[in-house]
Amino acid sequence: MSDDETVQPVSLPIDPENPPEFPGKLPRELSRELCDRLQAIAEEISPYLGPEHRAIKALNDASHELMITVPFRPRYAEYTPEE
Amino acid sequence: MRRYLIGLSVATLAAVSVGISEAGPARAVNDCDFEFATSNPDVYKPQITGRGLAGCDTPPDSHQVQLALEYEQGGRWVVASVKTDNTIPPPFRAGGHRYEVSAACYSGTWRMAVAIRGTIQGHTFQFEDHSGTVDIPASVCHPRF
């Protein structure tokens, strides 16, 4: 999957007897928005906890996990795949 | 049964010929991506931090990332801090590779910048990008001068 437009959430309500298959991907814009929200939380708690606190590390880890769920968009390092 | 076998052979031949015509000559594609973790740098007083991640579908021969924090001065971007990392990034689906750089926080306009260079299949590549900016007032971080 390489196109953000193809990432759609599952339809609700979910039938527990027949659960749908989740896409396992986030649209890029949604992922970016969520990461920026996590950043805002981290910046808000930083003056209380200090920049090295594990809560800030956890928020940064969470944003990393969200970023790697976007459809891969290779932008550099052009090569020719071997046949 | 024989008719079935003949039908299968024809279908197989057709599939093979379609496969050959669709494959065509090998096409060059990009292998790697770099993303900033956030739209602009993190302001964790008394420091400012830039974060990003890179991933490559197949490992290039070499891959050097220089992630920098820059501030604006007189209409130019000045590097406050830069960190170099020569790790070959794994694919995003395997977690990619994370980069982080920090600098002392002073008031002003800041952004992250990345410069990447390396080699793949014996060819060199380069990539540059920068993030959005954040304006830090003097009420948040002291002025530089």
How is B77-127 classified by DSSP, letter by letter?
EEEEEEEEE-PPPPPGGGT-EEEEEEEE--SEEEEEEEEEEEEETTEEEEE
Please give, rounded to a whole number of angstroms, the shortest distance from the CA of A71 to a CA of chain B. 9
* Domain segments of chain B as ranges: 32-133
Q: Does the CB of B29 have a partner CB in chain A at under 8 Å?
A: yes
> Which one of B33, B43, B44, B116 would you mutate to disrupt binding with A, by most A Cβ within 10 Å of its Cβ?
B44
Q: How far is C-alpha B43 from the geometric centre of its chain's CA atoms?
A: 22
Q: Match domain B32-133 to its CATH number in 4.10.780.10, 3.90.1300.10, 3.40.50.300, 2.60.40.10.
A: 2.60.40.10
| Domain contains A59 | yes
Q: State what percent of residues in chain A have pLDDT above 90.
A: 72
Q: Would the CB atoms of A72 and B33 count as touching at under 8 Å?
A: yes
| Domain contains A40 | yes
Q: Would the CB atoms of A74 and B57 count as touching at under 8 Å?
A: yes
Q: Which of the residue ranges A16-20, A36-40, B6-10 would you say has the lowest mean pLDDT?
A: B6-10
**φ/ψ bin of B96: left (φ > 0), alpha (ψ from -120 to 50), beta (otherwise):** left
CA distances from A83 to A55, A80, B31, B61, B135 (A): 47, 9, 16, 19, 50
pLDDT digits (tens, 9 = 90+) for A13-37: 888 899 899 999 999 999 999 999 9
Which chain B positions have a beta carbon within 8 Å of A68's beta carbon? 53, 55, 92-93, 95-96
| Domain contains A41 | yes
User: How many Cβ atoms sit within 10 Å of the Cβ of residue B77?
Assistant: 16
Q: Does the CB of A77 have a partner CB in chain B at under 8 Å?
A: yes
| Domain contains A12 | no
Residue B42, phi then psi, degrees to nearest 5 = -80, 135
Give the DSSP H or E segment for B55. strand B47-56
Q: Give me the domain span that covers residue A40.
A: 25-71
| Domain contains A4 | no
Total domains, chain A: 1
ipTM > 0.90 for the complex:
no
| Domain contains A6 | no
